[in-house]
Amino acid sequence: KQEVTQIPAALSVPEGENLVLNCSFTDSAIYNLQWFRQDPGKGLTSLLLIQSSQREQTSGRLNASLDKSSGRSTLYIAASQPGDSATYLCAVSMDSSYKLIFGSGTRLLVRP
C-alpha cells in the first residue's frame, strides 16, 4: 500500500531564506506527483504537477523535483516571503484514475 510522508511537519524560517520541503513515497510506480498549497480553512491550490517521466517542474520561485527510483520529491522555494506561509501537501497518483494519496503536509511559517 502506497504511503506518503512529509518531513518536517512544521518549519519556521526568516523572510528571504531559500527552503526545501521533502516528500517521500514507498511505492515508486507512481503515475504523477503533485504539490499543493493550503491556507487555513481553505481548499487546496495546485502548485506543480510532475509526470512520472519528468524530473522537475518550475513555476516562478517554486521548483519541484522527482526521483522515482528513490521515492522522493522536493519542493524548493526561493527567496521565501511571508505570503508563502501555508501548509504544503504532496500527493501521488498511481494510475490514470487520478485518485490521489496525500502526505500529512508541512506547515510553513515565513517570519517577516
Partner 1 sequence: DGGITQSPKYLFRKEGQNVTLSCEQNLNHDAMYWYRQDPGQGLRLIYYSQIVNDFQKGDIAEGYSVSREKKESFPLTVTSAQKNPTAFYLCASSMGIRDPNYGYTFGSGTRLTVV
Is the sign of the CA dihedral 12, 72, 93, 47 positive or negative?
positive
Tell me if 80 sits within 8 A of 16, measured CB to CB. Answer: yes
d(CA 9, CA 30): 23
Q: Which residue lies nearer to partner 1 by CB, 2 or 28?
A: 2
Contact residue for partner 1 among 4, 64, 75, 77 (CB under 8 A)? 4
Contact residue for partner 1 among 91, 92, 108, 110 (CB under 8 A)? 91
Contact residue for partner 1 among 13, 19, 62, 100 (CB under 8 A)? 100
| Cell numbers linked to 35 | 504539490
What number of other Cβ atoms are within 10 A of residue 69's Cβ? 7
Q: Which of 97, 105, 85, 99 is nearest to 35 (CA)?
A: 105
Q: Which residue lies nearer to partner 1 by CB, 42 or 55?
A: 42
Q: Considering the rule CB under 8 A, would residue 104 count as an interface residue with partner 1?
A: yes
Contact residue for partner 1 among 12, 18, 26, 46 (CB under 8 A)? 46
Q: Considering the rule CB under 8 A, would residue 8 count as an interface residue with partner 1?
A: no
Q: Could you list the residues that contact partner 1 (CB under 8 A)?
A: 4, 32, 34, 36, 41-46, 49, 51, 89, 91, 96-105
